[in-house]
Amino acid sequence: MILVHVRRKARKRASEWFCAINLALFGLTLLAPGALFSAPAYAAFEAVLGEAGTGVLALGLGLVWVGGLVVNGARQGLTSTVRATCCFAGAIVYGLITAAYLIGAMGSGVLTPPVAGNGAITILALCCLYWIGEEKGCRNDA
């Protein structure tokens, strides 16, 4: 029965699920063995938190966001504040990821696809935040 509620809610929140899972997978990629941050595109990431710190932050936030979506799908409106908080933090993290890729691209002189891709995901996360606010009835048109 719980899975039916989660599946029904997941269709309406596909973009939010995408952002949350993508953020968690980005964190997992950073935590995988290898020196990913040795590439010039990741120079700004390395300067701020390092590979492990950025990976833990992205993975943790993504998993909490997915957890909020699962609980919200099962318990109708219980975790919309958790979802909104994670969505806001996710938009900030995606914005910082975009900025870091842009700084790395400017340093190497080559514009890479992750700049535009993560910029689009940042905008998508902000749209998700707006939709969560609409669900909660935060808008007052009176």
Percent of the chain with pLDDT over 90: 18
Residue 52 in contact with residue 31, Cβ under 8 Å?
A: yes
DSSP state of 40: G
Question: For position 41, what pLDDT does the model report?
Answer: 67
| Helix pair angle (2-12, 14-31), 10° resolution | 100
For 27-142, where are the E strands, in sequence order? none
Average pLDDT over residues 70-90: 77
Average pLDDT over residues 40-51: 75
CA distances from 126 to 3, 28, 39, 94 (A): 27, 23, 29, 10
What pTM was computed for the model?
Answer: 0.78
CA distances from 56 to 19, 33, 59, 98, 142 (A): 16, 14, 5, 18, 43
Q: Is the pLDDT of residue 1 over 60?
A: no
Residue with the two structure tokens 């509620």 = 5
Give the least confident one: 42-56, 84-98, 128-142: 128-142
Q: Is the pLDDT of residue 28 over 90?
A: yes
Q: Is the pLDDT of residue 2 over 70?
A: no
